[in-house]
Structure 1
Amino acid sequence: MATSSTRRPQLVTTACNPSFISLSLLFISSSLSLSLSTFSHFSKLSISSTEKPLRPAEIALSRKEQMKAAAGKKPSPKGQRLICDLFSLSHSLRKSFLFISFLFFTLYALHLLHLRRLRPISPAAPPLPPPTSLRHIVFGIAASAELWSTRKDYVKLWWRPGRTRGFVWLDEPVEFSDDDTAALPPPKLSGNTSHLPYTHKGGRRAAIRISRIVSETLRLPELPPDARWLVMGDDDTVFFPENLVKVLRKYDHRQPFYIGAPSESHVQNMRFSAAMAYGGGGFAVSRALAAQLEPVQDRCIARYPGLYGSDDRVQACMAELGVPLTREAGFHQFDVYGSLQGLLAAHPVAPVVSLHHLDVVEPVVPGLSRVAALRRLVRGPARLDEAGLLQQSICYVKGEWTVAVAWGYAVQVMRGVMSPREAEMPTRTFLNWYRREDYKGYAFNTRPVARNPCQKPYVFFIAAARVARNGSHGETTVTRYERDPAAPPHPLCRWKVEDPVVVKRVLVFKRADPLLWNRAPRRNCCRARRSTKEEISVEVGICREGEISEPN
């Protein structure tokens, strides 16, 4: 009893010390606040959407207020007695109280770590590569020593020394003059393919050599390290490089892409493949895909000895790699005969990238040689506004004539009002690649040149192109179109509509629009009027608000 009576006053004295009581209250309130904060964070999802959760300020005092209360205020006598009674308890209960407080602090520390994990400091994203430009493209031109002397003129039309990069791949050495060396890509000899089988009875072994151009170009030590795309074409293919850049800029060269277009001939697509990029029209392979193709291509080619050409061998290897064809309507194989006027005058709403089989079809401008006609197109309007080349616009002159402009190439004037739905459809001025097949067997809709003799179009072909400076309004392209003097006369027409035969020329005014293909695809609009009895003036440009192609 004596021992008990001597210990109790000492305990009471320590427990009832005023400073100790203040610190104890601060400790208890802080622990309670931290525990409630932790509990509210982990139970957020359980709060009903219709219930308003308590705010921290409504649950406990702020830390600042707690410190102020602890420093400047004394507990009430009732609070002092509570603390005294609490700390007068047994030693084991005080240990339990301290353990629970420690547990609350531990939970709060875990809560802080959890929030830090939810908000990690992410590293800076790697910079995006600059947009694809002409210097990122390397051409591989398939050629033969037998035909190179005549076909090199097609390459000279579009090749831009000092800007374009690429190589001509030949089967045998040919002599290059000084002019050729300055105006053409450097020549390369294709590798030996005698170890690869070829069994197609109607084809030529050169198909194997040509199919390996992409891989052989990739192996060249002089291949530019910044090359992103390998583009293949034939020596009778004319490319439009700036439009090609606009097409390839849409795609990531770091991914496996195989870009091109099938044939215009439905029969060709059935006999070979509709999933194939026809090589004459050209196709583009991303460097990432070329790197996957190169080590396996010979093994792949050896498995397809019975295929006919080079392009179907390339597609067979793409199929083994699992890469499909990405179609772009501007690559043109032109598996047709006759005149391309019906196709070029109704070009799809897409940038023209290539023209092929130019040795087979008629000159694109009547009265000129094939090369001279293409030179007028490439060195004239294409230099002024390549993005707008061949793009169609449809408008009307006083509700009597329909005017269809294929900018930079031709203008068609027809009696009466022809709907845009019909006018934008290609006319069959060309013949099927297989002359005995259906003359309408194409991979797109076509129409006859005229359903009624009175609507046979008067066609005006490009004659000249220039830039006019219009003061503060900037520069405007002016293209002049004239009729072919050797064109056959039109059939007799009894319509009470003035005959467009009186028109001698058409002038088209258009501002260059390099951002045309940065917007959603849409035909330009045009406004046509008779400037004189013998001349039609047409303004072509972006459609105004609410503007459509309808008779005025």
Structure 2
Amino acid sequence: MKFQREIFPHLAGPNSGLWGRADQYWQNQLSTPRLYRLAIALAIVFLCSCAYVLFTETTSENLNCLSNKFKGFNIPPASSPSPTLPQDPHSNFTLDTPSLIFSRGNYDRNSTTTSLHNIVFGIGAAAKTWNSRQRYMKQWWRPKEMRGFVWLDEPVANCSDSLPPCKISADTSQFTYTNVRGPRSAVRIARIVTETFRLGLPDVHWFVMGDDDTFFVAENLVKVLSKYDHNLFYYIGSSSESHQQNLEFSYNMAFGGGGFAISYPLAKALESMQDDCLQRYPSLYGSDERIQACLAELGVPLTKEPGFHQFDIHGDAFGFLSAHPLTPFISMHHLDKIYPLFPKMNQERALQHLSKAIKVEPGGIFQQSICYEKTRNISISVSWGYVVQIVGGILPAREFEIPTRTFSTWRKSKSAGSYTFTTRPYPENSCQKPLRYYLASTGNAKNEHLSNNYLREVPGADCSWMKPVFQHLQWIRVVKERLDENWLQGPRRQCCQVSDFGKSFMEIRVKNCKEGTSI
């Protein structure tokens, strides 16, 4: 205590414990205004210094996060440079200088409305197949209204002005590809979104990927993407129709042939890490697998929209399209693998024919309406812009809306468990098969009520339910009310009824269901 009183005489007193007196001392001293202000200033300086050091270290750790976590994938150390890619001969920038590219874009985060102008297409193609497949693109591409590019592996002579400009993909030989079954071009095609992003186009909300044998309905694509906030991370597409294909690749993956959409901010994030990411997945088969793997590393799942159709099917797509899901039809792929959509036409001509109905009302294309004519004991299904079916007897709506297996899967199976949706067998008995009336002509698209004419495919069999009326019924006219504006928010099929019946002619009215009505 003597030592304490000599060194700290001000601590002496009744409560002269060292820490107790020290506490009392500092409380007394800090009550002095000058010392109080000085202490606050020193504390602020100290906290700012700590925050600066913490931010610097955290940023450094984030940049090397993926490299540290994926050492098992044989990736190069953090100090190793990314593969150096050659200059794109069709643009005025090098692909290894993204910092120069980002400034060229003009992305408006405050814009909330998506139009066709805000979408940029990246179409995967190859020089060997371009001559035969570009005819499909001509049926939906509108050069004065759409933006996009066809990405090829080598130059071609016939890049038409009526199609997207042709671009040559950067050399990807530096990337490892070890899958023994797949094409090495999968690496090149996986980078299409990144290479399109690096072009720095202004006012882009969405990047949409597709193949050169994919048919898009642009208006429906815009309508569906408008449901989502393009300022957020979105990866939108759909799975395969084949259960086996999804098991082999992934139910969490958007199949690239059917098309998928990536929002601008997500495309920016993908561009910044994709080249390193691709090196971690050399054994994957396709481009869409690689994109999904990289998006998984970014933590972004697939948002499924069933209107994107991979069409991993063979044969007659009638059974699927005549009972299309209650959602806008956006795309279909593998046009060389399915029969022409309309009889007595090749696929190119059939798409031209379908496009006439799409112009009348894009949202209504393939949408199914079901009704009955009880006095004649028949069931009717109208797939707008495509086909009208008439079946003898009363077929419940829950049966009519199930696709019939007129097609097989990618592996040529027709078993019920082969598909990712419910199916029913197509009748083998000719008298149980529906009479098909395919689209023949379209009416005026400017009227409130739309009209299409449908022509019978082939004469029906000699069945009792067809006599005598339906043996001579050759034409069906469908007069349709436009879809309700809110049908996407609250999906509901339109109602229909037979309004006129003649010897060789029938008229069907399709309209929005009123309150209290049912099929």
TM range (shorter): 0.7 to 0.9
Question: Match for 1:270 among 226, 240, 247?
Answer: 247
- Give the residue type in structure 1 aligned to 2:168: L
Structure-2 residue corresponding to 1:515: 485
Is the 2:240–2:309 Cα contact (8 Å) retained in structure 1? yes
Structure-1 residue corresponding to 2:50: none
Between the aligned partners of 2:481 and 2:322, the Cα distance in structure 1 is: 20
> Any idea what SS the aligned residue of 2:444 has?
strand
Shift of 1:402: 0.6
Question: Match for 1:173 among 143, 155, 160?
Answer: 155
Residue 222 (structure 2) pairs with residue 252 (structure 1): no
Matches within 5 A, 1:69-108: none
Matches within 5 A, 1:63-74: none
Shift of 1:511: 2.9
> Any idea what SS the aligned residue of 1:291 has?
helix
Question: Match for 1:194 among 149, 167, 173?
Answer: 173
Deviations 1:238-257 (A, max 9, x none): 10011000000010111000
Between the aligned partners of 1:262 and 1:496, the Cα distance in structure 2 is: 40
Q: Name the CA shift for 1:337/1:174 in 2 (closer, same or farther; >3 Å).
A: same
Between the aligned partners of 2:238 and 2:164, the Cα distance in structure 1 is: 25
Structure with higher helix content: 1
Between the aligned partners of 1:289 and 1:501, the Cα distance in structure 2 is: 58
Between the aligned partners of 1:145 and 1:468, the Cα distance in structure 2 is: 38
Shift of 1:318: 1.2
Between the aligned partners of 1:437 and 1:466, the Cα distance in structure 2 is: 37
Question: Match for 1:209 among 169, 184, 188?
Answer: 188
Stretches of structure 2 lacking an aligned partner (at least 5 in a row): 1-107
Is the 2:405–2:414 Cα contact (8 Å) retained in structure 1? no
Is the 1:203–1:309 Cα contact (8 Å) retained in structure 2? yes
Between the aligned partners of 1:354 and 1:418, the Cα distance in structure 2 is: 29
Residue 124 (structure 2) pairs with residue 148 (structure 1): no
Between the aligned partners of 1:515 and 1:436, the Cα distance in structure 2 is: 39
Q: Name the CA shift for 1:288/1:208 in 2 (closer, same or farther; >3 Å).
A: same
Between the aligned partners of 1:205 and 1:517, the Cα distance in structure 2 is: 43
Q: How many pairs were matched up?
A: 411
- Give the residue type in structure 2 aligned to 1:546: G
Structure-2 residue corresponding to 1:401: 378
Question: Match for 2:456 among 465, 478, 483?
Answer: 483
Is the 2:121–2:209 Cα contact (8 Å) retained in structure 1? yes
Is the 1:427–1:446 Cα contact (8 Å) retained in structure 2? yes
Is the 2:408–2:414 Cα contact (8 Å) retained in structure 1? no
Structure-2 residue corresponding to 1:24: none
Q: Name the CA shift for 1:496/1:239 in 2 (closer, same or farther; >3 Å).
A: closer
Between the aligned partners of 1:290 and 1:274, the Cα distance in structure 2 is: 21
Between the aligned partners of 2:112 and 2:300, the Cα distance in structure 1 is: 25
Between the aligned partners of 1:438 and 1:393, the Cα distance in structure 2 is: 27
> Any idea what SS the aligned residue of 1:454 has?
coil
Between the aligned partners of 1:493 and 1:433, the Cα distance in structure 2 is: 35
Residue 334 (structure 2) pairs with residue 357 (structure 1): yes
Is the 2:205–2:264 Cα contact (8 Å) retained in structure 1? yes
Structure-2 residue corresponding to 1:535: 505
Q: If you compute each CA radius of gyration, which structure gives the higher value, 1 or 2?
A: 1
Q: Name the CA shift for 1:433/1:293 in 2 (closer, same or farther; >3 Å).
A: same
Q: Name the CA shift for 1:127/1:355 in 2 (closer, same or farther; >3 Å).
A: closer
Is the 1:346–1:425 Cα contact (8 Å) retained in structure 2? yes
Between the aligned partners of 1:415 and 1:427, the Cα distance in structure 2 is: 16
- Give the residue type in structure 2 aligned to 1:201: V
> Any idea what SS the aligned residue of 2:431 has?
helix
Structure-2 residue corresponding to 1:456: 433
- Give the residue type in structure 2 aligned to 1:525: C
Deviations 1:83-119 (A, max 9, x none): xxxxxxxxxxxxxxxxxxxxxxxxxxxxxxxxxxxxx
Is the 1:415–1:497 Cα contact (8 Å) retained in structure 2? no
> Any idea what SS the aligned residue of 1:421 has?
helix
Structure-2 residue corresponding to 1:504: 474
Between the aligned partners of 2:227 and 2:445, the Cα distance in structure 1 is: 32
Between the aligned partners of 1:465 and 1:201, the Cα distance in structure 2 is: 49
Shift of 1:153: 1.0
Between the aligned partners of 2:491 and 2:136, the Cα distance in structure 1 is: 30
Structure-2 residue corresponding to 1:292: 269
Structure-2 residue corresponding to 1:425: 402
Shift of 1:190: 0.4
Stretches of structure 1 lacking an aligned partner (at least 5 in a row): 1-125
Q: Name the CA shift for 1:176/1:517 in 2 (closer, same or farther; >3 Å).
A: farther
Question: Match for 2:143 among 161, 183, 186?
Answer: 161
Between the aligned partners of 1:370 and 1:185, the Cα distance in structure 2 is: 21
> Any idea what SS the aligned residue of 1:151 has?
helix
Question: Match for 2:299 among 312, 316, 322?
Answer: 322
Shift of 1:128: 5.3
Between the aligned partners of 1:131 and 1:451, the Cα distance in structure 2 is: 50
Residue 110 (structure 2) pairs with residue 131 (structure 1): no
Question: Match for 1:219 among 166, 175, 198?
Answer: 198
* Percent identity of equivalent pairs: 48
Deviations 1:431-468 (A, max 9, x none): 12112574641000001122765321011111110118
Is the 1:351–1:517 Cα contact (8 Å) retained in structure 2? no
Structure-2 residue corresponding to 1:80: none
- Give the residue type in structure 1 aligned to 2:194: S
Comparing 455-464 and 438-447, the one that deviates more: 438-447
Between the aligned partners of 2:178 and 2:463, the Cα distance in structure 1 is: 57
Shift of 1:500: 2.9
Residue 365 (structure 2) pairs with residue 389 (structure 1): yes
Structure-2 residue corresponding to 1:100: none
Q: Name the CA shift for 1:436/1:457 in 2 (closer, same or farther; >3 Å).
A: closer
Q: Name the CA shift for 1:326/1:338 in 2 (closer, same or farther; >3 Å).
A: same
Deviations 1:493-532 (A, max 9, x none): 4559766332111110013337254541111111124421
Between the aligned partners of 1:423 and 1:127, the Cα distance in structure 2 is: 45
Q: Alpha carbon RMSD of aligned pairs, Å?
A: 2.0
> Any idea what SS the aligned residue of 1:402 has?
strand
Between the aligned partners of 2:380 and 2:467, the Cα distance in structure 1 is: 15
Q: Name the CA shift for 1:529/1:450 in 2 (closer, same or farther; >3 Å).
A: farther
Task: Give the TM-score taking structure 1 as reference length.
Answer: 0.72
> Any idea what SS the aligned residue of 1:270 has?
helix
Comparing 337-346 and 522-531, the one that deviates more: 522-531
Shift of 1:396: 1.0
Question: Match for 1:526 among 496, 503, 506?
Answer: 496
Q: Name the CA shift for 1:437/1:524 in 2 (closer, same or farther; >3 Å).
A: closer
- Give the residue type in structure 2 aligned to 1:479: N
Is the 1:416–1:497 Cα contact (8 Å) retained in structure 2? no
Shift of 1:547: 1.1
Question: Match for 2:322 among 325, 336, 345?
Answer: 345
Task: Give the TM-score taking structure 2 as reference length.
Answer: 0.76
